[in-house]
Chains A and B, each alone.
Chain A
Amino acid sequence: MTAARTAASQAPVALDATDRAIINRLQDGLPLAERPFARVAEELGIGEGRLLYRLEQLRDSGVLSRFGPMYHAERLGGGLTLAALRVPEDDYERVTRAVNAFPEVAHNYRREHALNMWFVLATETPKRIAEVIAEIEAATGLAVYNMPKEEEFHVRLHLPV
């Protein structure tokens, strides 16, 4: 996704009660059962077709960034970490391009702190994390602060709407 498209697609949208009910319910998860949308539609008191149509609209308009399985990267055998850089302001654009060029960089955020760039690395194997970090250090000339998770207390994003 380009920066321009990201900025343009971030404006808050107005949702009606049905949209809100769908989003709230489906953040909790689709039943892993036959005809799962019919089951959820019944809970919500709407038709299955209506639920699917609304869900498609919410996804296509960008209200939902995604609808589907949330996979646990490490349990699939991969590596995952959070890392940060302290980037000089006048070099920020160059470093952004250099970091984003790595396909292993899944998310990257500018944050208000001396450590002003934070990104998530997702790799095919745990061993590859250290290699990518070394490559990013070489490409940027900056030290990477690697902050792998040592314990996970909660991974749940439920935003009531």
Chain B
Amino acid sequence: MCDSICRSEPDSVAAMPAFAPDAVDRAIVLATQAGLPLYPDPWRAVGEQVGLSGAEVLSRMQAMHRAGVIRRVAAVPNHYRLGYVANGMSVWDVDDDDIDRLGREVAGVEGVSHCYRRPRHLPHWPYNLFAMLHGKTRDEVEHQAEALRLRLGSACRGYRILYSSRILKKTGLRLAGAGKS
């Protein structure tokens, strides 16, 4: 990964050594978790809040990015307001032997945002692979799911799409470990 121009997140966070944020890192996290100031020099604007120079803030954030603590500094669209009103959590019952390979493949399919392996809860919940799908219509989401089903082939024993019908709560993630030591 490059240090300065980073358009994407580090490839494998899991492979990285643990990162222990110190009090200065935590102050930066707290000052930015609600958002980055929209100023020509945002690093200096953050620095003014936490008593650091802009250069120090930038260098700390670059280090956190290298360590995988910051995935990226980015725009988070409200998908409903962009017309992506069909949001389905697709869940798949996939052979455990193949899931790591297939999970990586599924993650690369257009329209998939988050893709995780999670535990089954038998007998009620046989699904172990989760992939969030986003479309402008349910039809579009069904097509995305069909593409995934073809990709998974015989390793897949079944799937469901759980559409969200109501947002009950949506706050920013309150960052664990950021406020207390």
Judge whether B32 is part of the interface by a CB distance below 8 angstroms. yes
Q: Which residue of A lies closest to B16 (CB)?
A: A75
Give the residues in chain A near B32, CB-CB below 8 Å: 68-69
B77 touches A63 (CB 8 A): yes
B contacts with A, residue count (CB < 8 A): 92
Q: A23-B82, A29-B6 are in contact. Are A110 and B42 (CB under 8 A)?
A: no
Nearest Cβ in chain B — how far from A2, in angstroms? 10
Complex CA distance for A34 and B3, rounded to whole angstroms? 12
Q: Which residues of A contact B3 (CB under 8 A)?
A: 32
Asked if residues B80 and A59 are in contact (CB atoms below 8 Å), the reply is: no
Chain A interface secondary structure, helix, strand, loop or mixed? mixed
Residue of A nearest to B111 (CB): A159
Binary A-proximity of B33-62 (CB < 8 A = 1, otherwise 0): 111101111110000000000000010011
CB pair A28 B7 closer than 8 Å? yes
A117 CB-CB contact with B under 8 Å: yes
Given A68-B32, A75-B19, A82-B118 in contact, is the A96-B177 Cβ separation under 8 Å?
A: no
Q: In the complex, what residues of B have CB within 8 A of residue A125's CB?
A: 176-177
A54 to B: closest C-beta gap in Å: 10
> B residues within 8 Å of A by Cβ?
3-9, 13-14, 16, 18-21, 29, 32-36, 38-43, 58, 61-62, 64-65, 67-85, 89, 99-100, 103-104, 106-108, 112-119, 121, 124-125, 130, 132, 134, 160, 162-180
* CB pair A154 B107 closer than 8 Å: yes
Flag if B81 contacts A72 (CB, 8 Å): no
Chain A residues contacting B162 (CB-CB under 8 Å) are 111-113, 115, 118
> Contact between B36 and A67 (Cβ–Cβ < 8 Å)?
yes
A38 to B168, CA, bound (A): 38
- Judging by beta carbons under 8 Å apart, are B35 and A150 in contact? no
Q: Which 6 A-B pairs have the closest CB atoms?
A: A78-B176, A154-B107, A77-B177, A29-B72, A26-B75, A153-B107
